[in-house]
Amino acid sequence: MFDSITLGQYYQTDSALHRLDPRVKLVGTFAYLIALFVVDSWVGYLLVALFLAAMIRLSNVPFRYIVRGMKTILFLLLITVCFNLFLTPGEVIWQFGFLKMSREGLSFAIKMALRLSLLILGSSIMTLTTTPTQLTDALESLMRPLKKIHVPVHEISMMMSIALRFIPILMEETDKIMKAQIARGADFESRNLVKKIKSLVPLLVPLFISAFRRANDLAMAMEARCYRGGEGRTKMKPLVYQGRDRVAYGVLLLYFAACIATRVIF
């Protein structure tokens, strides 16, 4: 049941996007997200969608694999669409009982759905083409100025990368515990909300215990391998900007400017 989650999962292949410096991808993702909220016209959305399509093409990750990650937010998407559809005041074009659909609501709902989908797809492109280690390296490098005000930059990035590494393991574990509880008569299918919440207790307690045990083991394993924080550490894959990264920054700047232009013009 947890196979469908691709968010935060690296897809192993070789592509232009994979080879890009993770800092570029991180900055790029931010630029993409900001641009997504800057654009407001259909032309703007088209531009974002085209950019995304180009990125997906460049990433060499099968489209079906990316879309699988969307399943998890389908429910959220549906709710947002419904709310926007029926709760936006304006010129009524369709009515059923107390439900009123307005023209403004319709366009708003479609835009919202587009925005959310583009947002999820865009950010999963980054996590699919960047290993968590690269990602946290990039974060560490970009946040380095914060070290001066005593922000534990290295520790934060290490914690994040470990958290990401353990997501699939804990997912698998949840699945296992769930099956073990089902085998002993636990009911996770119940539609009754109270029962549903109650059924989570025998799932979460063992999960937490096991997570703590894993954390303990991992800490010991890290210590055994001489881990002692960021001081005096070298990097196996230090981040160095290449020619292609500069080109990528250029493309990003163009894209960002174009997005702002659509906002101004349309």
Partner 1 sequence: MSMIKIQKLIHDYIKRDDEGNAAGTVRAIDGVNLEVKPGQFIAVLGHNGSGKSTLAKHLNALLFPTEGTVWVDGMDTKDGANLWEIRREAGMVFQNPDNQIIAQVVEEDVGFGPENIGVPTEEIWKRVEESLKAVGMLEHRKKSPNRLSGGQKQRVSIAGVIAMEPKCIILDEPTAMLDPNGRKEVIKAAMKLNREKGITVILITHYMEEAIDADLIFVMDKGEIAMQGTPREIFSQVKRMKELQLDVPQVTLLAYELRKAGLHLPASILTKEELVDALLGSEPGNSETPESREQKSDASGEPDTEADKKEEEAGNGNQG
Contacting residues toward partner 1, per CB under 8 A: 10, 12, 131-133, 161-162, 164-165, 168-169, 214, 217-218, 220-228, 232-238
Q: Which is nearer to partner 1, 9 or 181 (CB)?
A: 9
Query: What is the closest distance, in whole angstroms, from the C-beta atom of residue 225 to partner 1 in the complex?
Result: 4
Cα–Cα distance measured from residue 171 to residue 173, given in angstroms and rounded to the nearest whole number: 5
Query: What is the closest distance, in whole angstroms, from the C-beta atom of residue 68 to partner 1 in the complex?
Result: 17
Query: What is the closest distance, in whole angstroms, from the C-beta atom of residue 238 to partner 1 in the complex?
Result: 6
Query: What is the per-residue DSSP string for 14-76?
Result: --HHHHS-HHHHHHHHHHHHHHHHH--SHHHHHHHHHHHHHHHHHHT--HHHHHHGGGGGHHH
Residues 6+ apart with CB under 8 A from 242: 21
Q: Which is nearer to partner 1, 29 or 127 (CB)?
A: 127
Query: What is the closest distance, in whole angstroms, from the C-beta atom of residue 27 to partner 1 in the complex?
Result: 21
Q: Which is nearer to partner 1, 237 or 246 (CB)?
A: 237
93: helix, strand or coil:
strand
Q: Which is nearer to partner 1, 89 or 232 (CB)?
A: 232
Cα–Cα distance measured from residue 82 to residue 77, given in angstroms and rounded to the nearest whole number: 9
Say if CB 248 and CB 28 are below 8 A apart.
Answer: yes
Query: What is the closest distance, in whole angstroms, from the C-beta atom of residue 120 to partner 1 in the complex?
Result: 21
Q: Which is nearer to partner 1, 104 or 173 (CB)?
A: 173
Query: What is the closest distance, in whole angstroms, from the C-beta atom of residue 249 to partner 1 in the complex?
Result: 24
Q: Which is nearer to partner 1, 89 or 238 (CB)?
A: 238
Cα–Cα distance measured from residue 52 to residue 33, given in angstroms and rounded to the nearest whole number: 11
Cα–Cα distance measured from residue 64 to residue 230, given in angstroms and rounded to the nearest whole number: 39
106: helix, strand or coil:
helix
Handedness of CA 232, 131, 172, 195 (dihedral sign): positive
